[in-house]
Structure 1
Amino acid sequence: MGEQVSKQATIVGMLWTGGTPKAKEVEENMASYFNVLQGFLLYFYGSTVGAGPTLSSNLHQSVMQVVNSSFNLMKDSVSSYGSRSKDQKVAVPVLVGKVWEACSGLKKAPATNIAAIGRAMTQVAVSMKDVLREMRELKPDSGGQEDDQQTSGGVAGDGDGNEDDDDDVGDMGNDLSPEEMKVAELAMEVVSDLLLVIKELIRSITGLLKMEKADTSGSFVDSLEKLLKSSQVIGAQIDELGACLYPPQEVSTMEAALKKISSSLNGIESEVEDLKGSTDTFVKACSGLRGSIKQLELVLSCCSVGQLEEQLTNTSLSH
């Protein structure tokens, strides 16, 4: 049906190519266009039978782009009739192109619940990768050595040491102590292991296409939606975890985030097991993630950042 709408838009463009069309031609063209558009919408609503919230949302977004671009084309077509403005008439072909683009986008819309949810999970993974990249930009505090270099540089340069003042101000407060850096490194391991879990999760549910086709009660789609929701909860907690790594690190918030991640992981494992989609690689990925979470929890629960600093100071004095 998208091709039919695209063809109808082409006819509109041709109507305005040779000059101003007659009123009757514009009227008949609009009637034909809206008849095709109505058929397109009926076809769309029929295609949403059995679609879960995620697939329905994807389809609705694609369809609305076709509808909105079509209405803009029709509105401009009517406005252009009788107008002496060349700019207004030139806009018609541009709007025809917008309809073509929207109709072409329909082919890229997911056709199954698995495809739609897989895409949504991929977006979660992309967001996690962004957080991981930001985590890797964190750096340890260089301590007094950097201060000495800056001092000597300032004297030798007779004031030239101020050239990078803006950069210094931008980095101020982002350098981590050794204890904080250890927490950040463990957090990076958690995110890396989470990315592997999401990858294996997508691979697991992709292999369940036959179950989606045989699903008549909607329970399979419900399970997929639960998996997506749990993945999104984890994604939100990773955002929280990444934000907490900047000094002063918020230990209690990180602990709460890890608990929510563990709880969501339990739900994911349970749903995948119920769907008979669990694989050895998925189980191994989940096990590795649990190990990383426990390591970070151990550091956070045994010693707060302040306690770690105190212990390191006492250890240095004893030697």
Structure 2
Amino acid sequence: MEKAAMEQLDRVLSEHLNTARETFQMLDQTPASSLEKVSWKEVIQIGEQVSKQATMVGMLYTGETPEIKVLEENMAAYFNTLQGILLLSHGSSVGAGPTLLSCIHGSVKQVVDSSFMLLQGAVSSYGSSSNKTQKLTIPQLVGAVWNACSALKKTPVTNVTAIGRAMKQAAVSMKDVLREMKELKPASSDSADKASIHDSTEAEGKSISDGDDDSFDEELGNDLSPEEMKIVHLTTSIVSETLAVVKELIRYITGLLLQESEGDGAISVDSLEKLLKLCQETGVQIDELGACLYPPQEISAIKVALEMISSFSNETETELRNLNGFTEDFGKACTSLRSSLRLLETELGCSNVGDLVPKLENLVVSN
């Protein structure tokens, strides 16, 4: 009897899951701009209903095992609500660019995934009175749904907000790399002595303990020559100046938020998306720069990264001018970056890098 009930529950759950997955696939497609946009507040409200449905599932397992009919009715109500949040979130993505669409998709996916896990856990726990551990996981699964629904309140609701947050995340990553660069140190006499002892020990065929190996690992990046340290310092300046340019971009985005709240003119989502992409691609090159500074330094890779950073400034200026967002402070930040690039070009002493600065020569500081 219990086996038949389990098979029936599995079949019903499978049907609900397949329907929900088909609906969720709609979120991969941007709705037509002619459709009426749904307010994200409606998504949050129906998210609260999902939380309540999850709570009801949890309550079914606080006492005796529920009747199969009760559990089936509960699942049907739950999936109806889940369908509602999927449809509303799709409607809320009218006019959304790739970044905002990704945020909406990610938030709703958390709700869907946690709900699937809860209902699958509920069906698996049905009739397993002897398996107390399995039933004890239900409250944890309910809590996961609550957290996912609560996170809907933190989801950005406009393109500007979504792009601004993504740009700040890129800046944070750049700051992390900058911090690591500043921690690089020149070789000391102590580290040189330890390296000599290490070589001598290996020559004698003696093994080194794991603890000794760890000590050498900790000194990674502390054995740069004076020449390598100079490149580190100059590269650190470039990363710092690049961050200053990104900060001016974020300042511009912040201004757009106020403009957007006041309904002051349309904002080009395509241009903002391009600015974000430039920023993120630069972050990748900053990451590459950080990796190249450890000895032996990879000069050829450093040149490629610098060229990308140069291109970033040039293209960013073009986009900002198109958006009427070019400011004197942005121009000053680019001028400082140009100066830092020239210094590293001189230090590297190779003509291949000489084409970096001319790309920035058209940057003009507005008066």
TM-score (norm 1): 0.83
Out of 221, 225, 245, the position equivalent to 2:269 is 221
Judge which range, 72-81 or 93-102, deviates more: 72-81
Instruction: Give, as a single letter, the amino acid of the residue that structure 2 aligns with 1:247.
Output: P
Identity over aligned pairs, percent: 60
Structure-1 separation of matches of 2:132 and 2:349: 71
Report what 1:89 is aligned to: 135
Given candidates 176, 183, 187, the residue that maps to 2:231 is 183
Q: Does residue 59 in structure 1 map to residue 107 in structure 2? A: no
Q: Indicate which of 265, 272, 289 corresponds to 2:313.
A: 265
Aligned equivalents of 1:145 and 1:233: distance in 2? Answer: 36
CA contact (8 A) 2:156 2:162 kept: yes
Alignment of 1:136-147 (within 5 A): 136-142=182-188, 147=193
Distance 1:26 1:266, change over 3 A: same
**Preserved contact between residue 184 and residue 221 of structure 2 (Cα < 8 Å):** no
Distance 1:291 1:298 in 2: 11
Matches within 5 A, 1:37-116: 37-84=82-129, 85-116=131-162
1:172–1:131 distance in 2 versus 1, CA, 3 Å: closer
State how far apart, in whole Å, the 1-side matches of 2:108 and 2:61 are: 26
Contact persistence 1:174–1:247 (CA under 8 A) = no
SS of residue matched to 1:208: helix
Task: Return the offset for 1:143.
Answer: 5.8
In the other structure, the counterpart of 2:36 is: none
Aligned partner of 1:192 among 220, 226, 240: 240
Q: Unaligned regions of 5+ residues in structure 2, if any?
A: 1-45, 198-207, 353-367
| TM-aligned CA distance change 1:262 to 1:30, over 3 Å | same
Structure-2 residue corresponding to 1:132: 178
| Structure 1 residue 247: Cα displacement | 2.3
Corresponding residue of 1:230:
278
The structure showing larger relative contact order (alpha-carbon pairs under 8 Å, at least 6 residues apart) is 1
Deviation at residue 90 of structure 1 after TM alignment: 2.0
Distance 1:169 1:59, change over 3 A: closer
Instruction: Find 1:31's aligned residue among 39, 51, 76.
Output: 76
TM-aligned CA deviation for residue 141 of structure 1: 2.8
Residue 215 (structure 1) shift: 7.2
| Correspondence for 1:12 | 57
In structure 2, the residue matched to 1:119 is: 165
Alignment gaps of 5+ in structure 1: 152-161, 305-319
Separation (CA, whole Å) in 2 of partners of 1:35 and 1:169: 56
Counterparts in 2 of 1:79 and 1:252: CA distance versus 1, 3 Å: closer
Amino acid in the other structure paired with 1:130? D
Select which of 271, 292, 296 maps to 1:248. Answer: 296
Q: Residues 207 and 172 of structure 1: is their aligned pair in 2 closer, same or farther, counting only changes over 3 Å?
A: closer
Contact 1:207 1:277 (8 Å CA) reproduced: no
Change (3 A) 1:127 1:49: same
Task: Give SS of 1:257's match.
Answer: helix
**Structure 1 residues 90 and 171, CA, compared in 2 at 3 Å: closer, same or farther?**
closer
What is the DSSP-based 3-state SS (H/G/I as helix, E as strand, rest coil) of the residue aligned with 1:271? helix
Which one has a larger percent helix, Structure 1 or Structure 2? 1
Residue 79 of structure 1: how far off its partner (Å)? 2.1
